Amino acid sequence: MKNKTNQTTIIYILASIFLAIIYREVFSIVFPSNPSSFSLLNNILFILFSGIILRYVLYKNDIRNSEIYRKLKNTNNEIKESNEKYDIVSKATSDIIWDWKITEDTMTWNKGIESVFGYNQDQVGKTSEWWFDNIHPEDTIKMSIKLYSFIEQKTEKWQDQYRFKCADGSYKYVLDRGFILKDENGKSVRMIGAIQDITKQKEEEQRLKLLETVITHTKDSVIITKADLNDGKFPSIVYVNPAFSATSGYSSDEIIGKSPEVFISTNADLEEHQKLINAIKNKEECQIETLSYKKNKEAYWVNFNMLPVYDSEGELSHWVSIQRDITEDKKQEVEKEQLIKELTQNNKDLQQFSYITSHNLRAPLSNLTGLLNLIEDIPIENQELKEIIDGFNKSTHLLNDTINDLVKVIIIKDNPSIEKESLMLKDIFEDVFSQLDFLIGLHKPIILFNFEEISFLNTNKSYLESILLNLLTNSIKYKSENRKLKISIAAHDLGDSVILIFKDNGIGIDLERNKDKIFGLYQRFHDYPDSKGLGLYLVKSQVETMGGTISIESKVNIGTTFTLTFKNR
């Protein structure tokens, strides 16, 4: 810079001197007679002098120029830096930055609009209308009222929470904060804001609110206490729910800071109480039943459950205690026990009664049969007497059979658990068939067996035999006259149970009409002279006494199938 100033000054001086010399030469040629009127020395002095002045002016100017340049450069740098910072922040923040020029109503969004809400840049509207259109309808009014009162400078700050629609149609909860730029007249011209996605926080907040309703609405009392024992006593209470206040009569203000010993009876059950203290010492979950006292000293039974709660560092922070009023349960339990006791006694009495009754019926009846047996050997001449005694004989035997059947029922019903043994199915059937030798010989039914899957059955021998005898005699008794009787018996292993399927092609039973009566006592479905209506009742009783079930399928004139299911073990 200085060099240039010097250079300019030197050029000026040299040029001026050169001009002064030229001028002097021309002057001496034109006016040779008057040389004294021109002084070269004076001119040169003048030139040098003006050169110094020029240099000074140039120098001053230079200084001012360089000052301006320096300032300009600084401003420039600041702007550049600020722009860079904005870019970096805008890129780094997860917030969505928007810039709204209010007077022109143009709006621009940063990249966040894509990364958070999923909008491509070409999907994003250029005006504020697009912004408002995407706010959840329920939030729009409240949000715009707040925003416009801010723009009109009625409020200092603006921040708001609302739901903003994503590109996929779902909504996200956002927190939007903005500031405003004003022109020289104080009018709002531009607004810049930052939107933060707070969906997760909102959801968590709602989840917590929901969870809180459980505690505030449950009928069980909930108490939260501190973690540590308070001088060997229960830790002090920090929270009680409304249910606790409602049950106990203590308001939360009264009870917070105190120990649960205020209401838990310490001497009702020392063992249970100690159990609880030990659990607190060992930081273990504990459940006891104890007497608790209301504020009015009324006692009630509670199921008291204490759970340790740990903080994020795994340190015990609190105890949560849930208490259920079980006074009613306790009362019912006592009533139930009393009822069971009474019923058991009743049952025993009835059983005894039935034994005595049957004994007292059987005793004279056995005399009658005994006497009739004796008459058999005495010849009776009188025809009328003979007929009378005959009728007497038949009635006595019928009465005897009925009573014997009833006795069988009483004995089965009296044996709720009977002894079982592992028996070979084949052997049982052989036994049963030998007892029915006569009937089988008479009717010659076709009998098919399928015991391939299972050959042993854990059962009671006499019951199973009686069941099979009844079913077989039924099949023979109620066989069809039009076709040869076919009986098939199969056993299947179902793992934990065994089923026996007993099928015949007899006359069947009309189940539509008799479904409810089929296994009933003294129910008869065919008018056969020797049918008493006892067989299936006995079968069902015996199956059930052995812990099994029986079901029937039957079609008139096609046949009947019984399915017996027994537990295997």
C-alpha to C-alpha distance for 372 and 33, rounded to whole angstroms: 206
Q: What are phi and psi of 487, to 5 degrees?
A: -120, 130
Residue selected from 411, 424, 442, 446 as contacting another protein according to rule CB under 8 A: 411
For strands 456-459 and 421-424, give the pairing: antiparallel
Burial class (CB in 10 A: 0-12, 13-18, 19+), 513: exposed
Is residue 140 a contact residue for another protein (CB under 8 A)?
A: no
C-alpha to C-alpha distance for 259 and 194, rounded to whole angstroms: 49
Closer to another protein by CB, 357 or 557: give it. Answer: 357
Is residue 394 a contact residue for another protein (CB under 8 A)?
A: no
544 and 567 Cβ atoms separated by less than 8 Å:
no
Best CA proximity match to 134, nearest among 170, 158, 105: 170
Stretch that binds another protein, among 268-276, 277-285, 369-377, 482-490 (CB under 8 A): 369-377
Residue selected from 91, 359, 386, 515 as contacting another protein according to rule CB under 8 A: 359
Is residue 371 a contact residue for another protein (CB under 8 A)?
A: yes
Is residue 389 a contact residue for another protein (CB under 8 A)?
A: no
Is residue 407 a contact residue for another protein (CB under 8 A)?
A: yes
Stretch that binds another protein, among 118-126, 267-275, 359-367, 450-458 (CB under 8 A): 359-367
Shortest CB 405 distance to another protein, Å: 12
Closer to another protein by CB, 370 or 495: give it. Answer: 370
Shortest CB 417 distance to another protein, Å: 13
Shortest CB 354 distance to another protein, Å: 9
Number of residues that bind another protein (CB under 8 A): 21
Q: Which residues contact 346 (CB under 8 A, 6 or more apart)?
A: none
Cα angle value 37/42/43 (rounded, 5°): 95
Shortest CB 348 distance to another protein, Å: 12
CB atoms within 10 A of CB 440: 16
Residue selected from 151, 262, 410, 439 as contacting another protein according to rule CB under 8 A: 410
Lookup: tokens for 72: 């300009």
Residue selected from 32, 186, 232, 364 as contacting another protein according to rule CB under 8 A: 364
Residue selected from 50, 265, 327, 369 as contacting another protein according to rule CB under 8 A: 369
CB atoms within 10 A of CB 376: 8
Residue selected from 39, 216, 251, 366 as contacting another protein according to rule CB under 8 A: 366
Shortest CB 421 distance to another protein, Å: 18
Beta strands in 207-337 (DSSP E): 221-226, 237-240, 286-293, 299-310, 316-325
Residue selected from 156, 271, 313, 377 as contacting another protein according to rule CB under 8 A: 377
Is residue 362 a contact residue for another protein (CB under 8 A)?
A: yes
Lookup: tokens for 204: 């968590």
C-alpha to C-alpha distance for 82 and 77, rounded to whole angstroms: 9
Is residue 367 a contact residue for another protein (CB under 8 A)?
A: yes
Shortest CB 374 distance to another protein, Å: 6
487 and 560 Cβ atoms separated by less than 8 Å:
no
Closer to another protein by CB, 406 or 518: give it. Answer: 406
211 and 218 Cβ atoms separated by less than 8 Å:
no
Is residue 363 a contact residue for another protein (CB under 8 A)?
A: yes
Question: SS3 of 452, please?
Answer: coil
Is residue 409 a contact residue for another protein (CB under 8 A)?
A: no
Stretch that binds another protein, among 291-299, 336-344, 366-374, 444-452 (CB under 8 A): 366-374
Closer to another protein by CB, 9 or 460: give it. Answer: 460
Shortest CB 495 distance to another protein, Å: 34
* DSSP per-residue codes, 9-65: HHHHHHHHHHHHHHHHHHHHHH-TT-GGG--HHHHHHHHHHHHHHHHHHHHHHHHHH
Stretch that binds another protein, among 218-226, 237-245, 409-417, 445-453 (CB under 8 A): 409-417
Is residue 136 a contact residue for another protein (CB under 8 A)?
A: no
C-alpha to C-alpha distance for 206 and 204, rounded to whole angstroms: 5
Counts for the chain of helices (H) and strands (E), in that order: 16, 17
Closer to another protein by CB, 41 or 374: give it. Answer: 374
Is residue 416 a contact residue for another protein (CB under 8 A)?
A: no
552 and 560 Cβ atoms separated by less than 8 Å:
yes
Q: C-alpha distances in angstroms, 322 versus 199, 222, 303, 307?
A: 32, 5, 8, 8
Residue selected from 186, 232, 314, 370 as contacting another protein according to rule CB under 8 A: 370
Stretch that binds another protein, among 177-185, 264-272, 404-412, 456-464 (CB under 8 A): 404-412
For strands 486-493 and 497-504, give the pairing: antiparallel
Stretch that binds another protein, among 172-180, 184-192, 352-360, 531-539 (CB under 8 A): 352-360
Shortest CB 358 distance to another protein, Å: 5
Is residue 477 a contact residue for another protein (CB under 8 A)?
A: no
Is residue 374 a contact residue for another protein (CB under 8 A)?
A: yes
C-alpha to C-alpha distance for 178 and 195, rounded to whole angstroms: 9
Shortest CB 366 distance to another protein, Å: 4
C-alpha to C-alpha distance for 362 and 352, rounded to whole angstroms: 15
Beta strands in 123-280 (DSSP E): 158-165, 171-182, 188-197, 221-226, 237-240
C-alpha to C-alpha distance for 308 and 550, rounded to whole angstroms: 52
Shortest CB 302 distance to another protein, Å: 46
- Residue 185 forms beta bridges with which residues? none
Stretch that binds another protein, among 294-302, 353-361, 466-474, 518-526 (CB under 8 A): 353-361
Residue selected from 140, 303, 358, 514 as contacting another protein according to rule CB under 8 A: 358
Stretch that binds another protein, among 171-179, 266-274, 290-298, 360-368 (CB under 8 A): 360-368
C-alpha to C-alpha distance for 92 and 86, rounded to whole angstroms: 10
Using CB under 8 A, list all residues that contact another protein: 355, 358-360, 362-367, 369-371, 373-374, 377, 407, 410-411, 414-415
